[in-house]
Amino acid sequence: MGENLTQKIISAHLLSGKMLPGAEIGIRIDQTLTQDATGTMAYQQFETLGRAQVATELSVSYVDHNMLQSDYKNPDDHRYLQSVAAKYGLYFSRPGNGICHQVHLERFGVPGKTLLGSDSHTPTGGGLGMLAIGAGGLDVAVAMAGSPFYLNMPHVLRVWLVGELPDWVSAKDVILELLRRLSVKGGVGKVIEYAGPGVASLTVPQRATITNMGAELGATSSVFPSDEITHDFLIAQGRGDVWQALSADQDATYDQEITLNMAELEPLIAQPHSPDNVIPLREVTGTQVQQVCIGSCTNSSVVDLEKVAAILKGKSVHPDVSLTISPGSKQVLTMIAQSGALATLVAAGARILESGCGPCIGMGQAPASGTVSVRSFNRNFQGRSGTGDAQVYLASAEVCATAAVNGTLTDPRSLGAAPQVAIPSAFLVDDNMIIPPQPSGAKIEIIRGPNIKPLPTRSKLDDPISGEILLVTGDNVSTDDIMMAGAQVLPLRSNIPAMSAYAFARLDPTLPERAKAAGGGVIVGGENYGQGSSREHAALVPMYLGIRAVLAKSFARIHQANLLNVGILPLTFVNAMDIAQCHKGDRLRILDIASALHSKSALNIVNETTSSTFQAACTLSDRQAAIVLAGGLLNMVKETASI
């Protein structure tokens, strides 16, 4: 029996475990990436591991999130990141060089390699045929030290693509259609593997748009085959020598298969406030729009922006609309400047932002109160834009451009022939904003600004756990809800005590003070708790506030791993209906934790306030159980002197 592409890459990197779906495996990581919102903490964690240099084939530290320099915090942390890169043998992508996923696709991605990134959209690299996985910063730090990355062997869902995209329909519509069909929970525990005759019609940037938003499905990763299209892209980037052909065997098997006929797609749009709230655009045409933002790691390629310029050529942005453009990289910005597309965008009235994440993570360009913002981004969680009552829609760059001109959501098919923009046969390559690793970092001093505080830690896990229920949430709570991003909070990313004041601010701003007064406690959540960003701060901050356990109906993969890594016990209801027995202010007692974890049996929980009892599951590997009982991965490393 043949192997699918996911199995081929994993088997070539397998260090421990067996490739049985759901079983824990450890794989070798070839490359890592971090960005500045997660990287400062990841490198502080790496420093505690005592390694002289990174052990990966290639590791890159990017600055793309916290670009605003309203005070000393962000520039100080950027200096820290640059000094760490120099000392430990990483590439450093300077502020302004671009968004990590766009730049990595252009300059570093290699088919068949494994990539671990402290950003949930790391699977963008799957557009090149990489197995690219998002993770928390500590997992990335440990991988940089040369240890395996542990995960449950994913199920593999094959998406069989047929047909070709019609005019005005884009790769964004492919992933929006999958979100419509599968939901934000549909990819949990899976790798989405693309195959079929339709693959050959998609360029690497289009494939990367699709794999990028696989994160919104909750998928472990998404991957396309590496074919001649991939080869042409790498040749155009001056890196044709790293190419290899990779595809599934003809007799490969899959855990699930669906077919998607791209020729039958139409322009789609995700309504507020979830990426899977997808409908045909035609159903909301005429909706007035006040802001349009084009860019992010999903839709900021040269081709995306050239198409936007073609739509805007000779026109003006509607008087009621603010249009912003965020080029994905310095390469993209330079090429649209040389082609004249940049001048077209400026002439039409677009506001050109830095090559960075910007509005996508609430770093500037918050919409006005109660207004509609249409974005070519990947997430539209409520409040993520910086404005709680804004109505944020997600759509293709082409749909965004037509909305900017008309002032309303407009089906672009009504505009006639679509602009035809070919992918460049040669990209402009200038890596002067990337600082390569230094030969030896032994004498390099790490620069630490006053905002960088020591890593918070905790003692061994309490057994039993007794604590107050501090919060009961609904389904699909995101890491943005747990630990918000944005211009106010992200500069505190290396200062957990200061950041803790904003924990759960969108759900209950009183929680930080109540947690301190109660000496910590327990959080109760619904389905898919912790979806969205990989930000480790959504686990580190609750740990700092004394949260001992999170009891939910189900967890998002990365957040569950982050909870374990900081010593917070992640529990799931054996009977989901038992959430009705949990009320804010009740006091829970979780019994016989160690014995239950070792025997892999259910844990008994007593609601001491109501005298009711119920059970929760926490099925962990022996390694995971040791981590959480030790109070977190760093504690276990100190105990065992190994990683």
Long-range own/partner contacts, residues 262-265 (CB < 8 A, 24 or more apart):
262/161, 262/162, 262/163, 262/164, 262/165, 262/169, 262/174, 262/198, 262/201, 263/162, 263/163, 263/164, 263/165, 263/166, 264/163, 265/165, 265/166, 265/169, 265/173, 265/174, 265/177
The tokens describing 400, both together, are: 């965004």
Whole-angstrom distance, CA of residue 200 vs CA of residue 202: 6
Domain total in the chain: 3
In a domain, 188, yes or no: yes
* Same domain? 495 vs 636: yes
The tokens describing 225, both together, are: 């085959």
223, 242, 264 — which closes off a domain? 264
In a domain, 455, yes or no: no
Q: What is the pLDDT of residue 456?
A: 87
Residue 454 has pLDDT above 90, yes or no: no
**CB atoms < 10 A from the CB of 257, how many?**
13
CA distances to 469, 542, 546 from 519, rounded to whole Å, are 12, 12, 6
Q: What is the pLDDT of residue 157?
A: 98
Residue 642 has pLDDT above 70, yes or no: no
The tokens describing 25, both together, are: 């495996």
**533, HSE (Cβ side, Cα atoms, 13 Å):** 25
* Same domain? 383 vs 322: yes
Residue 150 has pLDDT above 90, yes or no: yes
Residue 86 has pLDDT above 70, yes or no: yes
Render pLDDT for 216-263 as a digit per residue (tens, 0 to 9).
Answer: 999 999 999 999 999 999 999 999 999 999 999 999 999 999 999 999
Residue given tokens 């967890």 in the structure block: 555
Helices 171-182 and 204-212: crossing angle, nearest 10°?
30
The tokens describing 615, both together, are: 């059970």
pLDDT band of residue 570 (cuts 50, 70, 90) is very high
* Same domain? 144 vs 195: yes
- Where in the sequence is the domain holding 347, given as residue range(s)? 268-414
Judging by beta carbons within 10 Å of its beta carbon (0-12, 13-18, 19+), is residue 155 exposed, middle or buried?
Answer: middle
In a domain, 428, yes or no: no
Q: What is the pLDDT of residue 408?
A: 98
The CATH number linked to 477 is: 3.20.19.10
Report, as an integer, the average pLDDT of 171-189.
97
User: Nearest-CA neighbor of 324 among 267, 401, 381, 384?
Assistant: 401
User: Nearest-CA neighbor of 593 among 505, 463, 475?
Assistant: 463
In a domain, 380, yes or no: yes
* Same domain? 215 vs 294: no
Q: Alpha-carbon dihedral of residues 167, 171, 172, 174, nearest 10 degrees?
A: 100
**CB atoms < 10 A from the CB of 51, how many?**
16
* Same domain? 155 vs 67: yes
In a domain, 452, yes or no: no
Who contacts 423 (Cβ-Cβ below 8 Å, separation ≥6)? 203, 204, 205, 233, 236, 302, 303
* Same domain? 348 vs 241: no
Q: Which residues pair with 607 in a beta bridge?
A: 588, 612
Percentage of residues in the chain with pLDDT exceeding 70? Answer: 99
Cα of 536 vs its chain's centroid, Å: 11
Residue given tokens 């699909």 in the structure block: 476
Whole-angstrom distance, CA of residue 170 vs CA of residue 76: 40
CA distances to 96, 153, 288, 371, 403 from 321, rounded to whole Å, are 26, 47, 9, 10, 9
CA distances to 16, 526, 556, 617 from 572, rounded to whole Å, are 27, 9, 12, 5
Residue given tokens 């760059």 in the structure block: 397
Whole-angstrom distance, CA of residue 548 vs CA of residue 521: 6
* Same domain? 226 vs 304: no
213, 234, 264 — which closes off a domain? 264
Percentage of residues in the chain with pLDDT exceeding 90? Answer: 91
pTM of this prediction? 0.95
Render pLDDT for 574-608 as a digit per residue (tens, 0 to 9).
Answer: 999 999 999 999 999 999 999 999 999 999 999 99
Parallel, antiparallel or unpaired: strands 24-27 and 149-152: antiparallel
CA distances to 139, 161, 194, 529, 571 from 150, rounded to whole Å, are 9, 31, 24, 21, 19
Residue pair 393/285 in contact by the 8 Å Cβ criterion: no
CA distances to 267, 280, 474 from 276, rounded to whole Å, are 15, 12, 17
CA distances to 626, 641, 643 from 634, rounded to whole Å, are 11, 10, 9
In a domain, 422, yes or no: no
Render pLDDT for 341-374 as a digit per residue (tens, 0 to 9).
Answer: 999 999 999 999 999 998 998 888 999 999 999 9
Residue 439 has pLDDT above 90, yes or no: no
* Same domain? 478 vs 627: yes
In a domain, 386, yes or no: yes
Q: What is the pLDDT of residue 641?
A: 61
Q: What is the pLDDT of residue 69?
A: 84
In a domain, 331, yes or no: yes
- Mean pLDDT over the full length of the chain: 95
Helices 341-348 and 330-339: crossing angle, nearest 10°?
80
Who contacts 331 (Cβ-Cβ below 8 Å, separation ≥6)? 98, 103, 106, 302, 427, 428, 429, 430
CB burial string 169-199: b at 16+ within 10 A, e below? bbbbbbbbbbbbebbbbbbbbbbbbbbbebb
Most trustworthy range by pLDDT among 323-327, 384-388, 417-421, 617-621 = 323-327
Q: With H, G, I as helix, E, B as strand and everything else as coil, classify residue 433.
A: coil
Q: What is the pLDDT of residue 438?
A: 82
The CATH number linked to 362 is: 3.30.499.10
Q: With H, G, I as helix, E, B as strand and everything else as coil, classify residue 355.
A: coil
Render pLDDT for 482-527 as a digit per residue (tens, 0 to 9).
Answer: 999 888 888 999 999 999 999 999 999 999 999 999 999 999 999 9
* Same domain? 225 vs 289: no
* Same domain? 118 vs 218: yes
The tokens describing 188, both together, are: 């949990």
* Same domain? 125 vs 239: yes
Who contacts 454 (Cβ-Cβ below 8 Å, separation ≥6)? none
Helices 557-565 and 537-544: crossing angle, nearest 10°?
40
228, 249, 264 — which closes off a domain? 264
Residue pair 378/278 in contact by the 8 Å Cβ criterion: no
pLDDT band of residue 637 (cuts 50, 70, 90) is confident
Residue given tokens 């964004």 in the structure block: 172
Render pLDDT for 18-65 as a digit per residue (tens, 0 to 9).
Answer: 999 999 999 999 999 999 999 999 999 999 999 999 999 999 999 999
* Same domain? 373 vs 483: no
Residue pair 373/497 in contact by the 8 Å Cβ criterion: no
